[in-house]
Amino acid sequence: MPSVIDVAPELSVRGSLADLIALVKPRIMVMALLTAAGGLSLAPGAPSFELWLTLMVGTALLVGAANTLNMYLERDVDCLMARTRNRPLPRRRLAPQAALTFGVVQAVLAVPVLTFGISPAGGFAGPLTGMLGVIALISYVMLYTPLKQRTWIATWVGALPGAMPALMGWTAATGRIDAGGLAVFALLFIWQIPHFHAIALFRHREYARAGLKTLVGEHGEAAAHREIVVYSIVQVAVSIAPWALGVAGRAYLVVAVVMGAAFLYAVARGLARGAGPAWAKRLFLLSIVYLPVVFTTLCLDGLR
């Protein structure tokens, strides 16, 4: 049987690697990569393998940097919330300096990869995509992260980097920002508003203990309900834009309308019955079904 001295170094290495992976928030990264790939596939033209590879690597580095630096800056706040207190930095499984270094290295690599590519054969995403990456990184780390403790408007600021990978995919293929790319971006951007307000409604006390500002915390539940109603309607309207602009066809339109109607029905039915925390949680869960279904259909129908 091996001694503690024999196995401890191996466990330490495994633990450190797992903690570094946790810093990049793998679930969020996967979603960002999928939306970036969606934006690239929906854009006009036939992107090369080198372009696909460059966009995926650059986006992964960019999202990894943003999430790592976010965890570094919020390590003290994360200690106060049940859903984040087991992260590597609050649990002191990883030194803050290691996280900072890891985040900075990813950030330093991300923008050059997107701008200049990683293959001699070409396939660079271009300066516009690189610039959008810089905007996403700065808005998430330097604006959204500190604003969360100052104002609920941070919800809107955070939606920008959340939707940016799709627009980066579009500009990587086209080299420009146009109506089709903005329609795809808007779908992801607006979706986040009712989604995050729903989370805030059923996690209100937890957010308040951590000092994080939400609309419900600053202006009450009625204000959050109004915002959810308004932007759920906007969300459905925006989801029609890709069809109207010819990015996708009728199959997408049918799915977008059906899913939008189901979402609006859930909003209205919940409000009619009192709109408590249970309703907010159900709406949140519905929102994380709505987006993958609508966006996947958009990408598949756009590839026809």
pLDDT, tens digit (0-9, with 9 covering 90-100), for 200-229: 999 988 888 888 999 999 999 999 999 999
Task: Report the C-alpha gap between 59 and 277 in whole angstroms.
Answer: 35
- Predicted confidence (pLDDT) at residue 14 exceeds the cutoff of 80: no
Which CATH entry fits the domain spanning 178-304: 1.10.20, 1.20.120, 1.20.58, 3.30.310? 1.20.120
How confident is residue 9, by pLDDT bands cut at 50, 70 and 90? very low
- Domain range list for the chain: 1-151+162-173, 178-304
Task: Report the C-alpha gap between 251 and 246 in whole angstroms.
Answer: 12
The CB-side HSE value for 80 (13 A sphere, CA atoms) comes to 13
Q: What percent of the chain clears pLDDT 70, i.e. is strictly above it?
A: 93
Lowest-pLDDT range of 16-30, 112-126, 235-249: 112-126
Residue 115, CA distances (Å) to 36, 89, 108 in order: 15, 32, 12
Q: Are 57 and 118 in contact (CB under 8 A)?
A: yes
CATH node for 1-151+162-173: 1.10.357.140
- Predicted confidence (pLDDT) at residue 77 exceeds the cutoff of 90: no
Residue 1: the pLDDT is 38
Neighbours of 5 (CB within 10 A): 7
- Predicted confidence (pLDDT) at residue 12 exceeds the cutoff of 80: no
Pick from 229, 148, 144: which is nearest to 193 by CA? 229
- Domain pair 1-151+162-173 / 178-304, same fold: no
CA-based max dimension of the chain: 67
The average pLDDT across 228-234 equals 97
Task: Report the C-alpha gap between 40 and 49 in whole angstroms.
Answer: 12
- Predicted confidence (pLDDT) at residue 7 exceeds the cutoff of 80: no
Buried-state track 65-78, b at ≥16 Cβ within 10 A, e below 16? bbbbbbbbbbbebb
Task: Report the C-alpha gap between 119 and 106 in whole angstroms.
Answer: 18
Residue 15: the pLDDT is 56
The average pLDDT across 239-262 equals 96
Residue 108, CA distances (Å) to 6, 137, 222, 241 in order: 37, 11, 43, 36
The average pLDDT across 2-20 equals 55
Residue 123: the pLDDT is 72
Task: Report the C-alpha gap between 201 and 199 in whole angstroms.
Answer: 5
- Predicted confidence (pLDDT) at residue 3 exceeds the cutoff of 80: no
Q: What percent of the chain clears pLDDT 90, i.e. is strictly above it?
A: 75
